[in-house]
Each structure stands twice: as structure tokens, then as C-alpha cells.
Amino acid sequence: MSNSVSGTATIVLTAALAATAGAPSSYASPVQPVRNVLLDSDGTHQNSTAPALDHIQYELWPDATKRLRYLGALGEDHDGEGAAAPSRESIAEAVSFVQQLPFYAPDPIVGIDDDGNAVVEFHDGSELGQLIFKGDRAVEAFYSRSHAEPVSFEGSCEDGQFLDAFVQTFGFRFAA
């Protein structure tokens, strides 16, 4: 993907613009990781954290990514009950996923399980979504809605069937 097109300007959300948009200015910084929040003209999201043309970039959930990084630094038995040390690969994949969530996704709640895998959950009224990042691009997904059968599936972040099932189930694109 090339980010240089003659005659087109790149727009980056700065701290001053973030404050006028109602976001705390501490959330926006030119050196912070950023994620795309608007669709480009062909209706796709970009996967790059570099400034992209026709996009305003802004990290929507810096607290979630900060917490994942904190959890990633914990050691074995961090819970006093024999939990495995967090998987660096799992944490990195979950951070990338959270950074690339579309602006209309529910707020992510993050943690780690006893096996050291990063977990990202979404609670939206009567809906619950959970993703467990197993490392090596493997993900387990669970989705439940009131008065409906729960759905679970697993696969690779790079597998077309997994990605299609994710969009159908969760209502937004998977990117990590």
C-alpha cells in the first residue's frame, strides 16, 4: 500500500483537534500509535498504523491497549493460583486487534486467561462477544445474544472462513 499520492493531503487527528471533537487531548499525540476510524472511498479499512490518505487516524481505546501491555509484562503465577505467564505473541495480536477496531464496535474489555492468552470481550446490552488470542494467529471466538443460541468458532486470523464468520457474527471486520 502506497501512502503517497500526488495532490492529496493526509489528515491526522492532532491533540488540538481531538479536544474540539470532545476527546481528551491526552489521547491524541503524533507519536502515539494510531488506528483508522473512517472508511476510504472504496469502503475498506486500512491495516496500516502509518498515516493513510483520506483517513483521520486516532486510537480510540488507549486504555485497553495499555492494560494489555501491562498484563503482558506479568510473570508466571501472577494470580497466585498457578496461571501461565502471558504469551507475548497473544498480547501483540490482541493489541493490534484493539487498535484496528472500527469506531462503531462496542468498547473492548481486555484481560488474560489462566493459560496466558489475551482475551478481548464486548458487552453490548444483551450481547456478549469474546475473543481468545492463542498466538500464532489462532483465535477462538464466542458470541451470545439473549434468546438465541450461542455461537463459537475458531480459526486463523488469515483464514477466509474465520474472517467471514467473524463479520457475520460480530457485525464488523476482524483485523489484527
> Do 80 and 91 lie in a common domain?
yes
- Which phi and psi angles does 4 have, rounded to 5°? -120, 110
Q: By mean pLDDT, which of 11-20, 59-68, 71-80 is the weakest? A: 11-20
Query: Which amino acid belongs to residue 172?
Result: F
| Beta-carbon count within 10 A of 59 CB | 22
> Do 155 and 89 lie in a common domain?
yes
> Do 41 and 69 lie in a common domain?
no
Helices 62-72, 88-99: inter-axial angle, 10-degree rounding? 180
Q: What is the pLDDT of residue 87?
A: 96
Cα 107 to Cα 31, 133, 148, distances in angstroms: 23, 17, 22
Q: What is the pLDDT of residue 58?
A: 60
> Do 123 and 161 lie in a common domain?
yes
Specify the higher pLDDT residue, 100 or 30: 100
Last residue of a domain, one of 38, 59, 80: 59
What's the structural domain count of the chain?
2
| Beta-carbon count within 10 A of 12 CB | 14
Q: CA 1: distance to chain centroid? A: 21
> Do 86 and 49 lie in a common domain?
no
> Do 176 and 91 lie in a common domain?
yes
For 25-41, how does the pLDDT look when each residue is reduced to its tens digit (9 = 90+)?
Answer: 444 434 344 443 344 44
For 41-71, how does the pLDDT look when each residue is reduced to its tens digit (9 = 90+)?
Answer: 444 444 444 444 455 556 778 899 999 999 9
Q: CA 43: distance to chain centroid? A: 19
Alpha carbon dihedral 62, 112, 171, 100, in 10-degree steps, equals 30
Distance (Å, whole) CA 87 – CA 90: 5
Last residue of a domain, one of 11, 41, 59: 59
> Do 106 and 29 lie in a common domain?
no
> Do 38 and 68 lie in a common domain?
no
Query: Does the pLDDT of residue 171 top 50, yes or no?
Result: yes
H or E element in which residue 143 lies: strand 138-145
Domain residues for the domain of 137 are 61-176
> Do 72 and 15 lie in a common domain?
no
